[in-house]
Amino acid sequence: NELLFSEFGINYNDEPEIYKKGSVVIREEVLVDVVDKQGNMSKRTKTVVAIVHCDIIKDAFWNKHPEVLGEKGTRAERKAASQKRREAKQEQEQHLDDPAAADKAE
DSSP string, 14-82: GS-HHHHT--EEEEEEEEEEEE-TTS-EEEEEEEEEEEE-S-SSSHHHHHH-GGGGT--S-HHHHHHHH
pLDDT tens by residue, 53-95? 888 888 888 888 877 877 666 667 767 777 787 787 778 777 7
Lowest mean pLDDT among 6-10, 13-17, 64-68: 64-68
Average pLDDT over residues 6-20: 86
pLDDT tens by residue, 22-65? 788 988 888 888 898 899 988 888 888 999 888 888 888 888 88
Q: What pLDDT, on a 0 to 100 scale, did the predictor assign at position 1?
A: 77
Flag whether pLDDT at 100 surpasses 70. Answer: no
Flag whether pLDDT at 103 surpasses 60. Answer: no
Cβ-contact 82, 71 below 8 angstroms:
no
Q: What pLDDT, on a 0 to 100 scale, did the predictor assign at position 25?
A: 92
Instruction: Give dist(CA 50, CA 30) in Å, integer.
Output: 10
> Has this prediction a pTM greater than 0.75?
no
For residue 40, CA distances in Å to 18, 35, 36, 37, 46 come to: 40, 5, 6, 7, 18
Instruction: Give dist(CA 78, CA 87) in Å, integer.
Output: 14
Q: What pLDDT, on a 0 to 100 scale, did the predictor assign at position 73?
A: 64
